[in-house]
Amino acid sequence: MTAAEPEYGIITRGLRKEYRGVAAVEGLDLEVRRGEIFGLLGPNGSGKTTTIRMLTGLIAPTSGSATVVGVDVVRSPELVRRRIGYMSQRFGLYDDLTVRENLEFYAGVYGVVGAARRRRIPAQLAEYALTPRADQLAGTLSGGWKQRLALASATTHEPDLVFLDEPTAGVDPASRKLFWELIGRRAAAGMTVLVTTHYMDEAERCHRLAFLSRGHLIGVGTPVEITARFGVATVEEVFIELQRRDEGALA
């Protein structure tokens, strides 16, 4: 790493993943700053999930390199996973445990024990406005409340960086708005956030965006920079254009 690189939560250089001779991600160069909300966007099959799986150390890249919070994901995937949080629309909450018990369980998974756990659980309940529901079974929560609990669980260990893979899919607009307010507060406190979403109003909330198409990086920049580069008025129009291109290539 150079002297300037510690300011970045994620750095990839020529990151590539190949399955049976076909590249799912091709030559990806990304830099995500610490404390940034960074959107990774693209149509289905564009390589978003494969990229996240490489960055979280779940799969090894075919070639190239990646560091996450300063840790090499190939050499030290377990260390990466200890320092990040991960949440998706299918985050594994336990329906037969209460809100508090879910937080206690994930605190244990992430190695938060003893006095640290006794401090963190009430703090998470308060930060995510879950205290009044602490003794409610998770299975009885609405979709929006479940996603709030999932985010609280994924950040119980105060990770440096959190990956959010379609975290609000199927959640009503009001709950999505509240969820993003929570994300914004965490980022303002210094946590790096990488998020994928198909909701373009959410994409507009990101500090910067990266668009993928068929495994290739098409553009990186602020929402204003991206729309200017594509010569359109909205991020949604960029997404539609890339989707049209991908569908045309497969036809």
C-alpha dihedral, 91 to 96 to 102 to 105, nearest 10°: -100
Q: How many helices (H) and strands (E) does the chain have?
A: 9, 10
**Residue-wise pLDDT tens digits, 185-224:** 999 999 999 999 989 999 999 999 999 999 999 999 999 9
**Number of domains comprising the chain:** 1
Average pLDDT over residues 73-102: 92
Q: Which domain holds residue 44?
A: 5-250
| Euclidean distance between CA atoms 29 and 17, whole angstroms | 13
C-alpha triplet 185, 91, 101: angle, nearest 5°: 80
| Euclidean distance between CA atoms 182 and 139, whole angstroms | 22
Tell me which residue has tokens 């994928």. Answer: 196
pTM of the model: 0.90
Contact 16, 25 (CB under 8 A): yes
Average pLDDT over residues 105-132: 95
158 has a pLDDT exceeding 60? yes
Domain of residue 181, CATH code: 3.40.50.300
238 has a pLDDT exceeding 80? yes
112 has a pLDDT exceeding 60? yes
pLDDT at 249: 63
**Residue-wise pLDDT tens digits, 38-70:** 999 998 889 999 999 999 999 999 999 999 999
| Euclidean distance between CA atoms 191 and 187, whole angstroms | 5
| Euclidean distance between CA atoms 193 and 68, whole angstroms | 12
pLDDT at 250: 56
Query: pLDDT band at 6, cuts 50/70/90?
Result: low
